[in-house]
Amino acid sequence: MSAPRPAAKRRSILDSSSALSILDLLSDLVIGVLTPEDGWSARFVLRVGLSTVMLYCYIVVLARLFGSRTFASFTSYDFLTNIAAGSLVASAIMGPNVVEGGLGLLVLVLLQAIVSGASARWRPASRAFDNAPVVLVARGRLQRQAIRQSRVSEAIIAQHLRQAGVTDLSRVRFAVLESGGNLSIVQGDPEDWLDDMDSGFADPHVPPNPSVGR
């Protein structure tokens, strides 16, 4: 048997070195991701645990003081508020103390209470902060213009119809994209749809009347 050629031997050594370098790099990345900035210590674990417990109790107190509406997601504004609140809580848990994050969360909750209260009492405020509901399906017919303006694909509508147990589009009375981004499905018999002419549902571009859901 002939000895391996020098070029092939050098190539094998280079390939082995490259593989080891990649493994070392991956190992360093994994260790860096799983290691806190100042390293693991009992003080770090206790601080994170205590901060989490304190902020949890603080959030419960805020929810009790400002009511169930505080962290509800009825509108897109509520959704964004909850995302901002989660970011503040995470920053406070991992930060040096919870004072800044707790104060920021209090201000955010106060703003949410002001905006939601104004939206509930004055229609101009509601129009300014809340997205109006959009009818995507009316009396078994897709409202394609509203679908395009809302940037909702027909595949997404079909998915929500299946989740609601609807297999026949003709039996969908209304499919409404709500202010919070949810899709509400109202089913009914086609012969009863003439009753909609007396409600706000008659025009698919008119936001639906919540009292009408027959």
pLDDT digits (tens, 9 = 90+) for 99-131: 989 999 999 999 999 999 998 899 888 888 888
CB 55 within 8 A of CB 98: yes
Q: Are strands 172-177 and 134-138 parallel, antiparallel or unpaired?
A: antiparallel
Query: What pTM did the predictor assign?
Result: 0.66
* pLDDT at residue 150 greater than cutoff 50: yes
Please state the three-class secondary structure of the chain as a single string.
CCCCCHHHHHHHHHHHHHHHHHHHHHHHHHHHHCCCCCCCCHHHHHHHHHHHHHHHHHHHHHHHHHCHHHHCCCCHHHHHHHHHHHHHHHHHHHCCCCHHHHHHHHHHHHHHHHHHHHHHHCHHHHHHHCCCCEEEEECCEECHHHHHHHCCCHHHHHHHHHHCCCCCHHHEEEEEECCCCCEEEEECCHHHHHHHHHCHHHCCCCCCCCCCCC
Please give the pLDDT value at position 28. Answer: 79
Fold of 131-202: CRO Repressor (3.30.240)
Both tokens of 38, joined, read 């100042």
pLDDT-wise least confident of 33-37, 83-87, 114-118? 33-37
In angstroms, rounded to a whole number, what is the distance separating the alpha carbons of residues 82 and 102?
Answer: 14
Q: In percent, how much of the chain has pLDDT > 70? A: 79
Give the residue, 10 or 38, on which the prediction is more confident. 38
pLDDT value at position 207?
43
**Beta strand pairing call for 134-138 and 183-187:** unpaired
